[in-house]
Structure 1
């Protein structure tokens, strides 16, 4: 690379590349992505270049032909950088590297791009890459072949001087007032070996904007005593929430020391670090009930009859989000069947589903409301192959493609996001072209992908939803949302926001703590079930084994003999109300659903019987997962929740694990109902704490149970007896009423009670106050 048309180029390339030619802080202006306010406007860009070469000949001879012409290098880079728009700093850096290598004949170059106006609260953000001639084909260098953005292990994405405010420190004044901290981040996008994309795909890397938003949201809502915990949390959030492979976090406290500029710490973490830490801390304490053949009921061991659902195969490497909708026939069944058909074969696995939303029709309004959902799949199908599979499913399920566009249909499946690519042809556009204007798409998608960024709009899915809701509020102030979170229950769609449901308790046991022996025959139980419905119950919960403290566990055969005949008798008599089966045994739940039950209520949240999740997935019915430690004999000896007695935090963490196991087994999110387990492995004060802090579980954005409808069962519990000094459980209705009111105020969607007639009016008034 010389002033005289680089005549000594070959000689210089052959010399060891031990020297560096540097261009510092070259300023250009261009449209590159979006600015801090996410506008597509011309922005200042700072470019730093390091050309690896040898200056030996020019240094020894002082001849101009062997020297670097800095002016030519700068003008070449400046002209190239300002002549066209670039979608990202990564694309600009890679493009500069190619032009310097091809036109200026540099054998190797490091390019650093800073965007000073990239983020509102940071000095700059950008990328630094190192490239050699060998990293490109000749076609990519001369522009005849498209060149996707690729990354190697030496590249970094950086955020410089990000300023956040948070509580950090151990001194009393530091616990009282937020202070400024400064973060510098280095993200390594090439650690996983980003694969080449086809020419019509645009690959997307870790977006610094997404990472900063996510970190800011979590950090500023938290409180830390040590900088070590702070930086570890930042690294963990980046890796677990933003899917970064490796990150260096440097944090400084400018106000830490009076006579020093700052004090801080720097760490580097990768996925393996947190994976190994999680494995070291992971413990499984799970009792297993036996599953045996039971005479008289034709039961075979469930382990041999239930479908096996192992880990997602490695070859299903593409992550795709789909939208599903239906408004003809049994909409909930249609969505479930579509998901089953997607998984036929071995090329698609449904790994997560959203909640269900009943939504008014859009565009063509003269048609029934839709039931909408979203799902996340893993697949090895390319986009057009996946589209063909989807269209085949829609056709098989009866969709008529010749009717009016956006009209009624039994099933509609759209590809919303496919990895982080952009793709467009005559039949398919990715990301979905209209998803950002559709609340019925964004709401369910937000359930499973709120922190995923739209590849073109530079915003999280949660932010797209927030923006859309603000626009709708501006257009129609004060209007109510017409979208309702719902769940299917006995061939009906139940809206969670309509009312608090009452689950009436029907124990067919001789030893339950308050009504043992009252309904131990099928006839007596059936009459009681009808009485509970007449009194105002929405669901009947039938249990065949007492779970009161110190109760004796019975055999599976006996539990089935107590429960299944009652369900069969009720259905034979035309009883149409939803029935729940209260059991932690998979074989009992299986037989109960087969007999006509509609919901599984498992006090162990799937821990007592490893086959339970598979039974739940098999029947695709709503399931209640309750928090409990131990069993009826041991649960009241397991009320130690640590020095802080954080029973609510433990409930959230434990139930979140159960929910994830259920989802992994194939249970749909829209069917899951958590229960904090009032009175189970909790003393009186802890039960009160659960009711007092219930909003932290049901309504806090940071709760792992946020968004899930919640069941609470305080009826006649011992803590009510202790408070009212009432030893007779049947006389605790008024105390139960107060606990149910607190449950409604805390966000419960279902209350489970014995005294339905008395509690019915309590719930009506509580709903009028709290469920506005």
Structure 2
């Protein structure tokens, strides 16, 4: 165009017959590209275009041609340009014709100019419909309102093009109504391709889509601009949807974007599985499934999560589930792995599937396979429902860093968990999203339903468990006495503990105070085994027995007699066979933090910050003070022990942590542990070299301050049995900072302390 001056007539109402249909109240905007320098200089209209005259010319042309049936708006537009606009003295003319349809508006912009680079335009505005879009369940089971704007640059053939704009808009709407994209990004790309298919001379196209009710306070969406060259490079194939794919009754995803990968290269892939059971002996079912995975030489089981009891989802009239997750590596392809999981479910564990989401002996699902997106007919990875299930995301968060980006949503998995815990959106399909962490106890008989300790570690709503100390020793620092070796006296004490409702009785056959002389293996066995037998003969499973030992031989003999828990002050560092025994018998295992051995631990109490270039602490505190350093160093050392335990086959759900008050700790370290226990309860680390992730989050924690030296130092009480008041204050603080179990000598008094601490800090009244 040679001139930048324009005369404009806007929103002129016009009626015309288009494709045998009378269209009323079209809005026409005409632009005359001209030069009105003379008119503006002389203030004389004869040198410009009289818009009043032109407006009358439009209406005259309308009346004269009202019987003409135009094949399309394009033909109407060019007729108006040639017969009305170009009758005026102008260099070029543009006409815009606007029309409103039930679900959208169109704007056709036609131009007449001698320059080849001047293009026509077609705009679809507020193209509105309801479609299935997204990956959350609430998005898949309910069509959502979406709105599109489509801006098209093209070159219409003035004589041949007779496009029906209403049909084009309706075809786009029909395509989207029959779609079920996971992402708006895929939606706008395929609409773009569809436009190029419907309008063969399209030069470029800009598609914008907004989801208008997904976020309460905003409309959100995306746009994409593509040229004909872009489309040629990307490919013109449009995702087609089978009518059976588009449903609000079943969860279905479009079959697109599958990444095949090379699975026959001998490499192992990182995979996360979920499991659940609510029929039969659930623990046996879960353990058997894990054993079958281990039996396959193309699968390595790397870590287990904690075990969680959860309410059923979707179909509510069935027993509670036991759920968890596994981290494995495998050289099997996704389809081969799925086939093997189904073999375990149906052939080995005899699962009977009566209906979807119903009761099952075992359910094994693939959650993640590397970072792949796989949409096959019988397999979707990432698992479709994973981000709406607390009983998946919480155990998964124990195995996978919260920063891991979900391959489909491109959001951190940790963010999904945070939103899910805040949301009540899934309560209608689940009685409650509350999870209870379980520590399974060994069965005396294989056919018994499994026993367990239970904790609400997410909401900190479990009554603090009282572990009562039963020393079968003459030389313990606090209550050493020859009476401790008298079985009659010991059983009287056991009876008193039972009457006072202690939760766990912790039996010790040798003193583990720093610097003490250790009895032989034979003496330790002779002290504790008769007591275990007496207690089990009298009380059976009514009493939970913990054995305070660091010797694997003692642990095994005690377990065979019915002991429930092994409490190891060395965390397995004093006996390299201990992990093997714990894994073999699947018993709960209290791992106490210490350093060195009984003789040297008091000298190893320097907790200065250490650097490890391979390990990143993911929840490192912004404020680096002495307390934080102490608790982080202890957590790092416990994490190293956990790594070894997992490699030996110990499951996460067997673990109870004890930061080791009094073991290789001085006064300030003991106080730091109590004060900074919340940091330990959220500690997570990632080895960037091995990609091993260790989390202490959602592990129950035991603290044992009872009568210890640091209390005597502060209170000036020299003898251990004078420290009951200091112990009471310490136990209260332990509960306030998050301890789940407290280990005590004075069980009667400390029972009251626990009740008060729980009432104050946990609101358990």
CA 475–501 in structure 1, closer or farther in 2 if over 3 Å, else same: closer
1:467 is aligned to: 419
- Partner of 1:302 in structure 2? none
Aligned: 1:530 with 2:495 = yes
Structure 2 counterparts to residues 263-302 of structure 1, below 5 A: none
Deviation, structure 1 residue 475: 7.7
Deviation at 1:731, TM superposition (A): 2.7
- Give the direction of change, closer, same or farther, for the CA distance of 1:145–1:406 in structure 2 (3 Å limit): closer
Where do 1:258-407 residues align within 5 Å? 315=266, 317-396=268-347, 398-407=349-358
Name the CA distance, whole Å, in 2 between partners of 1:348 and 1:691: 41
Match among 586, 590, 605 for residue 624 of structure 1: 590
Report the Cα offset of residue 330 of structure 1. 2.7
Per-residue deviation, residues 405-438 of structure 1 (Å, max 9, x unmatched):
3222221111111222222333322222222222
Match of 1:756 among 744, 747, 752: 747
Quick one: distance in 1 between partners of 2:282 and 2:728?
A: 36
* Residues 113-168 of structure 1: per-residue CA shift (max 9 Å, x gap): xxxxxxxxxxxxxxxxxxxxxxxxxxx9998999xxxxxxxxxxxxxxxxxxxxxx
Query: Would the alpha carbon gap of residues 716 and 618 (structure 1) be closer, same or farther in structure 2, given more than 3 Å must change?
Result: same
Q: Does 1:734 align with 2:725?
A: yes
- In 2: Cα distance, 1:632 partner to 1:729 partner: 20
Match of residue 675, structure 1, among 651, 658, 662: 658
1:564 is aligned to 2:564:
no
Alignment deviations for residues 724-772 of structure 1 (CA, whole Å, 9 cap, x no partner) = 2222212322211111111111111100011111101110111111124
Could you tell me the TM-score, scaled by structure 2's length? 0.60
Does 2:562 align with 1:596? Answer: yes
CA–CA distance in 2 between the matches of 1:567 and 1:424?
A: 55
Q: 1:86 to 1:531 in 2, by over 3 A?
A: closer
SS of 2:546's partner is: strand
Residues 414-453 of structure 1 aligned to structure 2 (within 5 Å) = 414-449=365-400, 450-453=402-405
Does structure 1 retain, via aligned residues, the 8 Å contact 2:399–2:695?
no
Q: Distance in 1 between matches of 2:147 and 2:601?
A: 62
- Taking the aligned partners of 2:266 and 2:504, their CA distance within structure 1 comes to 44
| Structure 1 residue 550 corresponds to structure 2 residue 509 | no
Q: Deviations over 1:48-92 (max 9, x none)?
A: xxxxxxxxxxxxxxxxxxxxxxxxxxxxxxxxxxxxx998999x9
Using structure 1 for the length normalisation, give the TM-score: 0.59
| CA shift digits 1:247-288 (9 cap, x unpaired) | xxxxxxxxxxxxxxxxxxxxxxxxxxxxxxxxxxxxxxxxxx
Name the residue aligned to 1:584: 550
Give, in whole Å, the separation in 2 of the partners of 1:715 and 1:615: 29
Aligned to 2:667: 684
Alpha-carbon offset, residue 388 of structure 1: 2.2
| C-alpha distance 86-488 of structure 1, shift in aligned 2 (>3 A) | closer
Q: Deviations over 1:647-699 (max 9, x none)?
A: 22211111111112112221111221111111111122321222122222225
Show the counterpart of 2:34.
none
Partner of 1:495: 454
Measured in 2, the distance between the counterparts of 1:407 and 1:722 equals 59
| Distance in structure 2 (CA, Å) of the matches to 1:473 and 1:511 | 58
Q: Structure 2: how far apart are the matches of 1:324 and 1:357? A: 11
Question: 1:408 corresponds to which residue?
Answer: 359
Deviation at 1:373, TM superposition (A): 0.5
Please name the residue that 2:408 is paired with.
Answer: 456
Contact 1:536 1:757 in 2 (8 A): no
Aligned to 1:246: none
CA distance in 1, matches of 2:149, 2:607: 54
Of 486-495 and 345-354, the range deviating more from structure 2: 486-495
CA distance in 2, matches of 1:619, 1:597: 11
Residues 693 and 387 of structure 1: CA distance in aligned 2, closer, same or farther (over 3 Å): same
CA 1:416–1:475 in structure 2 vs 1: closer, same or farther (change >3 Å)?
closer
1:161 corresponds to which residue? none
**Deviation digits for residues 543-589 of structure 1, max 9, x if unmatched?**
11111121012222222222223212322334321111111122221
Distance in 2 between the 1:502 and 1:627 partners?
Answer: 20
Do the aligned partners of residues 504 and 468 (structure 1) sit closer, same or farther apart at CA in structure 2, a change above 3 Å counting?
same
The question of 1:744 aligning with 2:727 is answered no
1:441 Cα offset (Å): 1.7
Distance 1:521 1:575 in 2: 21
In the alignment, the residues of structure 1 paired with residue 424 and residue 406 of structure 2 have an alpha-carbon distance, to the nearest angstrom, of 20
1:724 is aligned, of 710, 715, 723, to 715
Structure 2 residue runs of 5 or longer lacking an equivalent are 1-132, 151-180, 190-231, 239-255, 443-449, 457-461, 610-625, 686-693
Does the 8 Å contact 1:698/1:706 carry over to 2?
Answer: yes
Report the CA distance shift for 1:142/1:441 in structure 2 as closer, same or farther (over 3 A): closer
Alpha carbons 1:445, 1:461 under 8 Å: kept: no
Query: Aligned equivalents of 2:468 and 2:508: distance in 1?
Result: 11
Gaps of 5+ in 1: 1-32, 45-84, 94-139, 147-198, 205-313
For the 8 Å contact 2:551–2:578, the answer to whether it is kept is yes
How far 1:701 sits from its partner (Å)?
7.2
1:203: Cα distance to partner?
7.0
Number of residue pairs matched by the alignment: 518
Match of 1:712 in 2: 703
Q: 1:202 aligns with which of 245, 259, 265?
A: 259
Distance 1:584 1:316, change over 3 A: farther
- Residue by residue, what CA displacement relative to the aligned partner does 1:382-407 show, whole Å, maximum 9, x if unpaired? 22222222122223554443423322
RMSD of Structure 2 on Structure 1 (CA): 4.7
